[in-house]
Amino acid sequence: MKKAIYDNIPLPDYEQLVNCMHCGMCLPVCPTYALTGLEKNSPRGRIRMIRAVADGELDLTDNYKESMNFCLNCQACVTACPAGVEYGQLVEAAQLHIEADNRAKGKSSRIKNFSLDWMFADLSRLRFFGKLIRLYQRLGLELLVQTSGILKLFSRKLHEMSYMAPTVSSEKPYSVDGKESMTEKKNIRLGILPGCVQDVFFRDVNQDTIDVLYYNGYDIYIPAKDYCCGSVHGHNGNLEMARQLARKLIDLYEKSEVDYVVMNSAGCGAYMKEYGHLLSEDNEYAERAERFAGKVKDISEILSEHGWQKPAGAISGKVTYHEPCHLVHTQKISSQPRELLAGIPGINFIELPEATWCCGSAGIYNITRYDDAMQVLERKMENIRSCGAEYVVTGNPGCMIQLMYGAKKFRVPVQILHPISLLNKAYHGKESKHE
């Protein structure tokens, strides 16, 4: 195998590359293969190309880059693979080389680089940006721009994307003050990571998470300062920034001496559980990263493993569940959120056809590849329409934003909620409504 083009960037795991049997079990679950029917847009086709690049038989051609960028990295193929190939790690390694090559040639996206290198590197900047969007929304400027259609003068796509941003949350501080624990106190200390997108657009979900955990007797720790987990950087070719942010989070939660770090964002939780791999060659952090990763738990995992009280209040209506890709395929969590829903009185639960099929959000894929994302989203929204649900619950902010947008774009009359928000409403005897 030839030496990497960029010596400071690791090659894909060659053992994973040769483990692919090219059996085709991944083909029926791959959204991009379903859209095109082309082998180069299937997981096994991409693995062949990644191996050819690693062996020095193929250059980083435009065709190669397009195929890798077209991939949603939903990891449905990982679940389907009988050989256990960790496709996600392979395509992310390929993305690192592509981004390095693009930057070296001056072809890297300025908008993406601004987001990754500046805004998401320091959450105070992201929150400031969120304040500007909130002001834009509250002054009625967003509605004026949308109804006037002025953005169509520049781009139809830009006009369509203007409807994607949900309402920015108010900045009311997170609190456990005045909350009443309804069960016996547990000797379990949980760290809450407010996150980036979750904190800006879905602070109510974070507060619901705090309320539910406190209600069930858990001790809550909310850091005075927090950081992005680095997933958006790692998935988009900025590995060094992802490592820097991972180290900061490890330092932060080691000092707090928490038993677990609780996540209500599937993508973030999945990435943090792989910190051991991310920092495996860091002599100072490798062991600490493995230890930290072992403490990361999805909120549904925590409640399933350590107990929760079923609510007395009821939520009436037809409810279905969309499985976030990085919850079901990466973290292998599927039954736990359903257990929460099954424990809420009044719910008429309906299984969603193709519940594990990607919604097209995929981090920032719905921004960088809007047209492709909309084709994937349309399939998801038609499945939601067919089951007649009034509520769609899902445990990832990217999925929530995408599905909210899909409900508007494709005129599907549903409300989108996080499962923990539905549970919290039942605890407080409140009928669910979209906020």
**Domains within the chain, CATH numbers bracketed:** 14-104 (1.10.1060.10), 110-161 (no CATH), 189-305 (3.40.50), 310-427 (3.40.50)
pLDDT digits (tens, 9 = 90+) for 14-68: 788 888 999 999 999 999 999 999 999 999 999 999 999 988 899 999 999 999 9
**pLDDT at residue number 9:** 61
β-partners of residue 214 are: none
Low-confidence ranges of the chain (pLDDT < 70): 1-11, 111, 177-183, 430-435
From 228, 285, 240, select the one nearest 96 (Cα to Cα).
240
Tell me, what's the pLDDT at 183?
A: 64
Q: How far apart are CA 12 and CA 91, in angstroms?
A: 8
Tokens 């969309």, residue located: 322
- Displacement of CA 75 from its chain's centroid (Å): 12
Nearest to 239 by CA among 358, 332, 393, 117: 117
Q: Which pLDDT does position 11 carry in this prediction? A: 64
Q: How far apart are CA 67 and CA 46, in angstroms?
A: 7
- C-beta separation of 73 from 235 below 8 A: yes
DSSP letters of 80-106?
Answer: H-TT---HHHHHHHHHHHHHHHHHHTT
pLDDT on residue 2: 45
Provide the pLDDT for residue 238: 83
Q: What pTM, to 2 d.p., does this model score?
A: 0.91
Q: What is the pLDDT of residue 432?
A: 40
